[in-house]
Amino acid sequence: MSRVAYVNGRYVPHRHAQVHVEDRGFQFADAVYEVIAIRNGAFIDEERHLARLARSRRELKLAAPMSDAALKLVLRETARRNGIRDGIVYLQVTRGAAPRDFAFPKAAKPSLVVTSRRMRIADPRLIANGIAVITLPDIRWKRPDIKSVALLPNALAKQQAKEAGAFEAWQVDADGNVTEGTSSNAWIVTAKDEVVTRKADDSILNGVTRLGLLDIIAREGMRFVERPFSVAEAKAAREAMLTSATNGVLPVVKIDGKPVGQGKPGKLALKLAAAYRDFMDGAA
């Protein structure tokens, strides 16, 4: 089956999908996006993703291309035309095309692009074996809470992780505290059985999977603390893990080449990974 993309009102062959050369998403990264996991045909935590999309748009004073009801229809039709039962749908909203100028154009119409593809969500092999991360200075702009397409620093860090043989890079602020991964939220488990992650302020993106895991932690009655943690604390933690829409919950077993805890997935990380997988199966 040939892939299909939605571009501004039309479903077109993926290889022919185009936006205008002066689209502001291309010229200025003046755009926001979301990635929603699809499990057995169900869109996981769709309402939270659309709420975050709306928040990102408002922060950039970017108009909605259509209503949420219409957008949901487009998302489902794009997934259907691509035959996706398990995978992701990607949507991007830009300020639209206009003669190149830094100031917002008065008459530009928002642009909407949607694609969908197969992907294994919450790969059981990664959960069973755990993953490695490296730490790097956080060089992103000061509003990573907005899910914008300005992802060059993230791409540079992800490439460094790949070259180091790691799965992810955890970014570190000027105080030596972990902010988040390039495409994930960061967590540790202390010797006191406290599950710790950074507060969702303007220093990180409030991950939808992060929010889902907080629901599970509350339901299970686990001890939870929202606060910054340093690289040193992470390396000395009993367990570590990350969360994202495309990976669910993954145990982190190595940071900067050094084992975390016993150097294998910890019991709480595995329990939370299983609980999140159950949540996705239940939603589907």
Q: DSSP H helical segments within the chain, as ranges?
A: 24-28, 46-59, 68-81, 124-129, 152-163, 208-220, 231-236, 267-283
- At residue 178, the 3 state secondary structure works out as strand
User: At how many degrees (to 10) do helices 46-59 and 68-81 cross?
Assistant: 120
Q: Kindly state the tokens that stand for 131.
A: 């993953």
Structural domains in the chain, sorted by start: 4-118 (3.30.470.10), 124-283 (3.20.10.10)
**Residue in 72, 109, 147, 271 annotated catalytic:** 147
End-to-end Cα spacing for the chain: 24
Determine the pLDDT at residue 122.
Answer: 82
Long-range contacts at 108-111 (CB < 8 A, ≥ 24 apart): 108/24, 109/65, 110/62, 110/63, 110/64, 110/65, 111/7, 111/8, 111/19, 111/20, 111/23, 111/25, 111/31, 111/65
Q: Is 142 a catalytic residue?
A: no
Containing H/E element for 251? strand 248-255
Determine the pLDDT at residue 282.
Answer: 86
Determine the pLDDT at residue 217.
Answer: 97
Containing H/E element for 114? strand 111-118
Determine the pLDDT at residue 284.
Answer: 63
- At residue 72, the 3 state secondary structure works out as helix
Q: Which amino acid is at 130?
A: G
Determine the pLDDT at residue 28.
Answer: 98
Q: For residue 16, what is the DSSP state?
A: G
Cα–Cα distance for residue pair 252/168, rounded to 1 Å:
10
The percent of the chain in helix, strand and coil, each rounded to the nearest 5, is: 30, 30, 40
Task: pLDDT tens for the chain, 284 residues: list them.
Answer: 689 999 999 999 999 999 999 999 999 999 999 999 999 999 999 999 999 999 999 999 999 999 999 999 999 999 999 999 999 999 999 999 999 999 999 989 999 999 999 998 888 999 999 999 999 999 999 999 999 999 999 999 999 999 999 999 999 999 999 999 999 999 999 999 999 999 999 999 999 999 999 999 999 999 999 999 999 999 999 999 999 999 999 999 999 999 999 999 999 999 999 999 999 998 76
